[in-house]
Chain A
Amino acid sequence: MAQITLALAKGRPAKDTLALLKKANITFPDFTEKSRKLVFYSADQSIKMIYVKALDVTTYVEEGAADIGIVGRDNILEADANIYELLDLKLGKCRFVVAGLKEIPLTKGSHIKVASKYPHVAKKYFAQKGIDANTIKLNGSVELAPIIKMADVIVDIVETGSTIKENGLTILDDVHYISTRLVANKASFATKNDEIQQFIGDIKNILVNETEA
């Protein structure tokens, strides 16, 4: 069996994912979160893991630098990459919402100013609704934009919705449900199908056991 390269998104999902993989007997002995290394090998050398920024996972996979990747659906939707999205790891569950200071009617034909860390997702959502949206890309504290009147609404990720509420914003609509997903390069899926299917099968078994327990 050939070795497969896995791009794992840094940050919160990584910890949960590695815990899940451990249950499937896939471990990375060298790995610690504080390590400055970027490449790790599984105990049986069957997987080479590269530890990269969440935003870059789909790029590594689309370009074929990694065969598979594990990353949040928020990044997958924003990147809109030409890859396979094969499995829901049921981790890091949250959702994309539209939120604003007050009830803003999201009706066809209206104009709206949107601030988001995810301009592509925002644009696509409003286009489908037939709303003419002017998107502003921000890199953090998106909730601020409606408060200081830079935008009418925001499109952002919420887990519980408490940050949104604390800033006096109301959730106007759900855009997408989000969780951690397994993605694959289309060429690798053809040339390393057995290895990738094996990896998916191992994780699936754990997921099935967990839902049954």
Chain B
Amino acid sequence: MQSYPHIETDLLADVNYIHQRTEIIQKLKNTFLSFGYKEVYIPTFQPYDLYMNMNGTVNQQEMMKTIDYNGNVLVLRPDVTIPLTQQIALSQPKTQQHLRYFYILEIFRQAFEAKGSRENTQAGVEYLGNATPEADAEVIALSIQVLAEMGIQEAKIELGHADFFKQLTKALKLDHTQLQELRKLIQTKNVPEIEFFMKTLDIPKDLKEIVLQLPFLYGAPQKVFEKVNQLKLTEAMRQSVTALEAIYDNLVAYQVDQHIVLDLSLINHMDYYSDLIFQGFIEQVGKPVLMGGRYDRLADEFDANIPAIGFAFDLQLLLETFANQTKVEASIDVCLYYPKAAMENCINIAHTLREAGLQVVLYPDDTAKEHAPYAKYLVEYTADELLVNQTAYKTAEHLLTYLKKARDTSWHK
């Protein structure tokens, strides 16, 4: 038997899947727009050097590279935040304005062990020019609003602070290998192994206690703040806790605090995050459906000083939640059977119906009816009349009146 080349499943021509995807994108767009965010586009091809010169962002091996006729290496857009920040930094380096942008774009990365898909759609926002906790709370509230619009009420957003762990490790004075190991243990909340690891280190008791407590600095914000404030933090660590407290107060004002979980052991692999980091989870999906954070220092790379915060949804993961639900049928409105002789007349009728906003297909009546596409209404053209549900209509306009009436009473139940 012949074997066929593998294609990525997300691109399969599953019309119901695509229909659902389009509906979700529409909801995302509407919610982003309702908060005053404007859509932007970032070209698919980006210079490889843009990412090469920035450590701790996108893994260079994961990027899809290509070469143009001048021999320049380009990559297929592996992220949106970096090129967008560059563009803003170069075009308006001194901006004092609050800039709210959103995008729904494909991101290309190849995983080392071809586990995931190479092409993923991200729906994200970037809010530049505002470094206040109000801005942080706004984008988090926006992410929760997006999920609510999709009917997801049980979302949880985990908040952490990138500088908290950075400052802790700075105080611990670990070597590279030790740091890597501790990072891994913290990310897996590996309580037994953290205890074991700390026994091998000669560090002050107060710092040791903070590390041992890290996995437990998780849960309802009030309780976590209480716990962390009992620890002997360094001044810099204290500042990141204070920053989170201010953000949380604003989230209470947005009345979304029931969705918030604090996780002081949260670490993001994107090095450009400088302050708040967060990720969102929903039921039935085993991975974070959204990730984001504040990246106030990223514009420095392009000689500008623009604070910013952003996040992105993974669209495929969002769609997973709806996988078990009955799909909304992507059906058409009218299938118009026509005899060959009346083709021209039927094309005009179809045109009238389409102008009125209906989805219409034409179907010659000398073809077997069982192969016809599924439509809400089957209309037969016979003897200068349009027959639908055993009733005849003289003209397209008459038919339209009937269909509109039917739609008003039944389609919009």
Contacts and interface: CB of A to CB of B under 8 A. Distances in A.
A172 B281 CA distance: 45
Interface stretch (A33-41, A59-67, A155-163): A59-67
A87 B188 CA distance: 11
B189 A86 contact: yes
Interface string A183-201: 0011111110100000000
A152 B22 CA distance: 58
B192 interface: yes
B261 A63 contact: no
Nearest to A177: B196
Contact of A188 (B158, B192, B218, B286): B286
B189 A64 contact: no
Given A190-B156, A190-B261, A191-B154, A64 B191 contact: no
Given A190-B156, A190-B158, A193-B219, A85 B287 contact: no
B261 A64 contact: no
Q: For the side of the interface on A, what is the size category?
A: 20 to 34
> Which one of B191, B196, B215 has the highest number of Cβ atoms from chain A below 10 Å of its Cβ?
B191
B284 A85 contact: no
Nearest to A87: B191
Contacts of A187: 281-282, 285-288
A128 B156 contact: no
A191 B191 contact: no
Contact of B281 (A85, A87, A190): A190
A85 B158 contact: no
Interface in B174-210: 177, 188-193, 196
A63 B158 CA distance: 19
A83 interface: yes
B287 A64 contact: yes
B283 interface: yes
Contacts of B156: 190-191
A128 B177 contact: yes
Interface residues of B, number: 23
A187 B287 CA distance: 6
Contact of A88 (B192, B286, B287): B192
Contacts of A189: 189
A181 B193 CA distance: 11
Interface in A67-106: 83-88
B188 A84 contact: yes
Contact of A85 (B190, B282, B286): B190
A193 B261 contact: yes
A83 B189 CA distance: 9
> Which one of B156, B192, B193 has the highest number of Cβ atoms from chain A below 10 Å of its Cβ?
B192
A151 B263 CA distance: 45
Contacts of A177: 196
Contacts of A190: 156, 158, 261, 281
A88 B215 CA distance: 14
B256 to A, nearest CB: 15
Contacts of B281: 186-187, 190-191
A187 B282 CA distance: 7
B398 to A, nearest CB: 54
B277 to A, nearest CB: 14
Contact of B286 (A62, A128, A181, A193): A62
B190 A64 contact: no
Contacts of A88: 191-192
B192 A181 contact: yes
Contacts of B196: 177
A88 B193 CA distance: 9
Nearest to B289: A187
A64 B196 CA distance: 28
Contacts of A65: 286
Nearest to A194: B219
Interface in A39-70: 62-65
B189 A84 contact: yes
B188 A83 contact: yes
Given A190-B261, A191-B281, A193-B261, A185 B189 contact: no
Which 10 A/B pairs are nearest by Cβ-Cβ distance?
A: A64-B286, A88-B192, A187-B281, A190-B281, A190-B156, A85-B190, A84-B189, A85-B188, A187-B286, A191-B283
Interface of A: 62-65, 83-88, 128, 177, 181, 185-191, 193
18 contacts: A83-B188, A84-B190, A85-B189, A85-B190, A85-B192, A86-B189, A87-B192, A128-B177, A186-B287, A186-B288, A187-B281, A187-B285, A187-B286, A187-B287, A187-B288, A190-B261, A191-B156, A193-B218
Given A64-B284, A185-B286, A193-B261, 8 more contacts: A64-B287, A85-B193, A128-B177, A177-B196, A188-B286, A190-B158, A190-B281, A191-B156
